[in-house]
A = this chain, B = another copy of it.
Amino acid sequence: MDLRECARLLRERDRYLIVTHTRPDGDTLGSAAALCRGLRRLGKTAHLYHNPEITDTYVPFVAAYLAPEGYQWDTAVSVDVGDARILARGFSGDVFLMLDHHATGEPFARHVLRQTYRSSCGELVLDLLEELGLGLDKEQADLLYMAVSTDTGCFRYANTTAETFHAAGRLAQAGADIAGLNKLLFRTKSRPRLKLEGLVYSGLRSYRDGALNVAVITLEMMAQSGAGEADCDDLASLAGQVQGNRVAVTVRELASAPPLSKISLRTDGGVDASAVCGSFGGGGHRMAAGCELALSGPEAAETIRQAVEAVWA
């Protein structure tokens, strides 16, 4: 399906429920809310499924779009959900239309618009709203800027393309508050988060001349920093920042008695992350995978480090 067909479908139907993914990020929430607003501007009834995992940062952006209790919908549209298994917790029902940009995961809706060359669902929704013949208002521009900028790490990640920059330029022209959103999303951290990063950086261990880096986040570090779950976004990216890094291991202690640790493994593809994590019952992709081990943080880190060393060519 292309954008035009998708726009035609959306014009035909009504009573929309827009569904986001588990552990919702700026892309799924921003894209969904901008689409919801677009549908309302077309005269449709549209609400977002009340995803129970929305974090504080995003609440102000989506509050006006959340479905009231007991809302009866006709047409469910999923946004940025690559696989049915990560549809927002508690949602059940058929999905009529799936808007996505992920390359993996099984399509699960009656109609599918999946453009894998897009950096973010936000880029796709931007063009879809244009196809619907609606100019962007400032609020939609803000929502879509949140979507595009968070999914590209503020234009730092490898998914950033010329089209991404041009999309951001269009959103800025449409009135998106670039400076304010950047400050909120990328230039500000909670004090506990900064403390926790301080502890992680101080404890970082490097091997193979900086090519292998291991970060451990223990329960004690969590307590010492005062960090909660909302302060733990993207901790797995910290170790990979070391110059010359090729493999980054991040271990987070989840429980102590009995011990349980969650491992995130990211590589440049030289070491197959999914093979290493797979041997411990986990999974993922060649460059990013995860697993859990019934060990303390430091023990789990050493176990994974040895497993990485064993397959390192």
Residues of chain A touching chain B, judged by Cβ–Cβ distance below 8 Å, are 154-158, 160-166, 168-170, 172-173, 178-179, 182-183, 186-191, 194-195, 197-204, 206, 210, 240-243, 245
Contacts and interface: CB of A to CB of B under 8 A. Distances in A.
Nearest to A189: B241
A206 B119 CA distance: 37
B201 A156 contact: no
B160 A242 contact: no
A36 to B, nearest CB: 25
A164 B178 CA distance: 11
Contacts of A162: 169-170, 172-173
Nearest to A244: B188
Interface residues of chain A: helix, strand, loop or mixed (majority): helix
A189 B242 contact: yes
A197 B169 CA distance: 33
A204 B193 CA distance: 12
A194 to B, nearest CB: 5
Given A158-B179, A163-B169, A188-B241, 15 more contacts: A154-B156, A155-B182, A156-B186, A161-B172, A161-B178, A162-B169, A162-B170, A165-B172, A188-B245, A189-B242, A197-B201, A198-B200, A198-B202, A198-B204, A201-B201
A157, A178, A204 interface centre (most CB from chain B within 10 Å) = A178
A164, A173, A201, A203 interface centre (most CB from chain B within 10 Å) = A201
Contacts of A200: 198
A242 B168 contact: no
A194 B186 contact: no
29 contacts: A154-B155, A155-B155, A155-B168, A156-B186, A157-B182, A158-B182, A160-B178, A160-B182, A161-B178, A162-B170, A164-B169, A165-B166, A165-B169, A165-B172, A166-B169, A188-B241, A188-B242, A188-B243, A189-B241, A191-B204, A191-B210, A191-B242, A194-B201, A194-B241, A194-B242, A197-B201, A198-B199, A198-B200, A198-B202
